[in-house]
Chains A and B, each alone.
Chain A
Amino acid sequence: MSFLEYAPAPESTALLNLQSEYGLFIDGEFTAGSDPTFATISPATEKHIATIASASAGDVDAAVKAARAAYDTTWSRLSGRDRGKYLFRIARLVQERARELAVAESLDNGKPIKESRDVDIPLVAAWFFYYAGWADKLDHAGLGANPRALGVAAQVIPWNFPLLMLAWKIAPALAAGNTVVLKPAETTPLTALLFAEIVQQAGLPAGVVNIITGAGETGRALVNHPDVNKVAFTGSTSVGREIARSLAGTSKKLTLELGGKGANIVFDDAPIDQAVEGIVRGIFFNQGHVCCAGSRLLVQENIHDEVVERLKVRLGTLRVGDPLDKNTDVGAINSAEQLQRIRQLSDIGEAEGGERWSPACELPSEGFWFAPTIFTNVATSSRIARDEIFGPVLSILSFRTPAEAIAKANNTPYGLSAGIWSDKGSKILAVADKLRAGVIWANTFNQFDPASPFGGYKESGYGREGGKQGLAAYLAPASSASASVASASVASASVTSASVPASSSRSVRASKGGKK
């Protein structure tokens, strides 16, 4: 046994209390879907986890109707303060059930338990906690006094951070006073359905949150439903384009969080050991299933060989395997389809002259696996330098001058993320100014926080999630034309009532005080 060999340390799945079959969560209740069910499996073992309902167009309509009714009758009439209290409840319930959610996430998605336990689920709780506090402070969101909610939000999320993406969508939407219909990805519906249980435990009014499962057709029916006021989508650029096209001419407000081909730039004055850790975090975190991954490494030419050498040594210590094992660094690829795409693009990378290298590692015989892979000698024109691979595959290019690094980093239709590694602060700030990307990490990578806006330039989408910008995505100024004048006036009345004490006797006193 070498120092890198550990005994297995799997997280127990005993604390999971899963149903064998899950329905659609509409109007506060689980109901059967109308379309044929499908199975969700563990990508690490290909074993069946649960049977999942599929929402037909009729089910989508029922969910939107439930959300509309909840918006009209309860949620838009509730004070911001009370909306916030519900969100605080949800944040606490997520914390209480954190271990269970982490295990379920790693089981269904294939990501290492140390990531779901230490990154995904804590951020989910943080997201709800952050936006809970916003619910009664909307006047400070940057849209002037008494901004109004949009109405019903249709939200479609990807499979890479299933519960975290749900939190990014639902928390700001509810804080702003909207109701939601959310569709999780087909391959990772499990934690969204556990979240539906949390919604029930929190006592949220029926219909405020609706979770419908299904494939692309369900998502299409949802975003195109005529009674939806807001669409928020995270996923591929091609689907984002399709949504932007289909929403043309409607008044639906749209947020798109799409693909990326992030450049991670390492200058020769960078702290190399930290940069190597950052490179690993940039592309092998979550098996590279990250839209903001640092998938293009740009290394200054004079340190190229040294960085590659140290990176190879570091990759040799990555442990690939059982996502539920606490020592695992890199888990399973989420689906057979995604594995196929990663293999195909990697083969193209080789065919186009890239030099492929992976550490020696034994991959499990069942499930979907891909060893951490780096490509050197990659041309800027190569597919693996241009296309989003969405897997643990790093393309390494070199540069000589900062100007060349900036030109190469910006040479992409995407513009989501970038990294800069240097010990010289003035250089970092100058380079950060010139990179056309929405999130820039200097001497770090893949950091997320509910207070920090996240989103892309160019074909990486539009709108921001996180921060007050993420809240504004679910609001409209009070003065803007409203589809429903009645609901706007109700919303502003409830904001006013939130600013005075809640009980009626005290509010009488407050108003008397105001007359003096």
Chain B
Amino acid sequence: MSRLAVLKTYKLYIGGKFPRSESGRVYEVLSASGDFLANAAKASRKDARDAVVAARSALSGWSKATGYNRGQVLYRIAELLEGRRAQFIDEIVSAEGVSAAAAAAQVDEAIDRWIWYAGWADKYVQVAGNANAVSGPFFNLSVPEPTGVVAVIAPQDSSLVGLVSAVAPALVAGNTVVVVASERLPLSAISLSEVLVTSDVPGGVVNILTGSPAEIAPWLASHADVNALDLVGAGSLDWVSLQIAAAETLMRVFAPENGADAAAPSLARVTQFTETKTVWHTKSLL
């Protein structure tokens, strides 16, 4: 007699905890062949706002951590992902209907991208910042600093690699993130939150919402406590309206990306979530 499997309840990930949607709503997640996989939480406006509050309260600690420290925390995530490699592969095979080899390639790429971005945490300042030779007796330095709370609409056509490619670069500089996962492929996102909660990432640094991006995104775009909006995976939404809503608070907005190169790893994805601060200090005239 075969053993009856224990199924997982997939919930949201907000402030380091796993709440159900306050709305009580769920939606069915189906496999590529149309079989029932799970009921995922369908996040509401209130859930999105709770996630922004959690991201804002985590910002001070995460942005003040040293680059070396953030780099190690991010690297630790990759270590834990590697340990759960088989679980993610199984999940992707059933959700996307791809071969085990293709699923493995996606997981490996996701892990390698975490590591690539982890390595930037103590270097991007040197590359993107500079000393400025001004015409006067001043010490003048420009450094990139985190923009703040970043809302992300994750790429919708992959379970893990798209999500990682959108979230990891925003974390490098010390931003905190509210991400809306792929609507059709949300299960790996919630499994990723199980990785995050057991890693050293403080609660609230990453908040993961599942549900309808079309429903949640407008609340994030118009939220006055969101500093940047990455629409990388919003290509099929009415993203122009989201940009218009975001203009109200002059939130930094990044347009949808499509195709195989969407959210490809680049230093620009790190620096787009930074602000250049220039400090002038007088030098005495000796």
B-binding residues in A (CB < 8 A): 126, 142, 237, 240-241, 244-245, 248-249, 251, 256, 258, 413, 415, 425, 428, 432, 437-444, 447, 449, 451-455, 457-459, 461-462, 464, 467-469, 477
Residues of B within 8 A of A241 (CB): 247-248, 250
Q: Lowest 3 CB-CB distances: which A-B pairs, in order?
A: A249-B240, A248-B243, A244-B247
Residue contact B244 to A248, C-beta cutoff 8 Å: yes
B276, A449: Cβ atoms under 8 Å? no
Contact (A447, B280) CB under 8 Å given A452-B140, A469-B142: yes
A425 CA / B280 CA spacing, docked (Å): 12
CB nearest to A448 among chain B residues: B134
Min distance, Cβ A378 to any Cβ of chain B, angstroms: 24
Contact B132 A453 (CB under 8 A): yes
Given contacts A249-B243, A256-B250, A453-B142, contact A464 B276 (CB under 8 A): yes
Chain A residue nearest in CB terms to B271: A142
Contact (Cβ within 8 A) A455 B250: no
Task: Check if B250 sits within 8 Å of A244, measured CB to CB.
Answer: yes
Contact between A449 and B132 (Cβ–Cβ < 8 Å)?
yes
Q: List chain A residues, Cβ under 8 A from B277.
A: 432, 437-440, 457
Contact of B130 with A449 in the complex, beta carbons under 8 Å: no
Set A415, A454, A462: member contacting B278, Cβ < 8 A: A454
A-B contact pairs, 26 of them (CB 8 A): A142-B127, A142-B128, A241-B248, A244-B243, A244-B247, A245-B247, A245-B248, A248-B244, A249-B239, A258-B250, A425-B281, A432-B279, A439-B277, A440-B278, A440-B279, A444-B138, A444-B280, A447-B134, A451-B135, A451-B140, A455-B276, A457-B277, A458-B250, A461-B250, A462-B252, A464-B276
Does A439 lie within 8 Å of B278, measured CB to CB? Answer: yes
B34 within 8 A of A: no
B285 at the interface (CB under 8 A from A): no
- Give the CA-CA distance A464 to B278 in the complex, in Å: 10
Chain B interface (Cβ < 8 Å from any Cβ of A): 127-128, 130, 132-136, 138, 140, 142, 147, 227, 239-241, 243-244, 246-250, 252, 255, 268, 275-282
Cβ B280 vs Cβ A439 within 8 A: yes
User: Of B130, B243, B250, which one neighbours A459 at CB under 8 angstroms?
Assistant: B250
Give every chain B residue within 8 A of A469 (Cβ-Cβ): 142, 276
Inter-chain CA distance A440–B134, complex, in Å, is: 15
Cα distance A413–B249 when bound, in Å? 9
Question: Which residues of chain B have C-beta atoms less than 8 A from A468's C-beta?
Answer: 130
Tell me if B's interface is mostly helix, strand, loop or mixed.
mixed
What CA separation (Å) do A338 and B51 show in the bound complex?
42
Contacting pair A449 B282 (CB below 8 A): no
Structural contact, A449 and B128, CB atoms closer than 8 A: no
Name which residue of chain A comes closest to B238, CB basis. Answer: A249
A245 and B138 contacting across the interface, CB-CB below 8 Å? no
Q: Cβ of A432: which chain B residues have Cβ within 8 Å of it?
A: 277, 279
Q: Are B142 and A452 in contact (CB under 8 A)?
A: yes
Complex contacts, B244 vs chain A, CB 8 Å:
245, 248
* New A-B pairs, 14, CB < 8 Å, besides A451-B133, A459-B250: A142-B127, A249-B240, A251-B255, A415-B275, A432-B277, A439-B278, A442-B279, A443-B281, A449-B134, A451-B135, A451-B140, A452-B280, A458-B250, A469-B142
The answer to whether A240 and B250 have CB atoms under 8 Å apart is: yes
B275: chain A residues at CB < 8 Å are: 415, 438, 457
Q: How far in angstroms is the closest Cβ of chain A from B222?
A: 12
A243's nearest neighbour on chain B, judged by CB, is B247
Residues of B within 8 A of A443 (CB): 281-282
**A445 → chain B, closest Cβ, in Å?**
9
Nearest B residue (CB) for A464: B276
* Closest Cβ neighbor of A449 among chain B residues: B134
A237 to B247 CA separation, bound complex (whole angstroms): 11
Quote the shortest CB–CB distance from B232 to chain A (angstroms). 15
Assembled-state Cα–Cα distance A440/B252 (Å):
21
**CB-based contact B276/A453 at 8 Å:** yes
A449 touches B250 (CB 8 A): no
A425 to B240, CA, bound (A): 46
Cα–Cα, bound, A444→B280 (Å): 8
| Cα separation A372 to B219 with both chains bound (whole Å) | 44
> How far, in Å, is A150 (CB) from chain B's closest CB?
15
Closest chain B CB from A78 CB (angstroms): 27
B31 to chain A, nearest CB (A): 35
Report A-chain residues with C-beta under 8 Å of the C-beta of B280. 439-442, 444, 447, 452
A126 near B135: Cβ-Cβ < 8 Å = yes
- Least Cβ distance of B242 to chain A in Å? 8
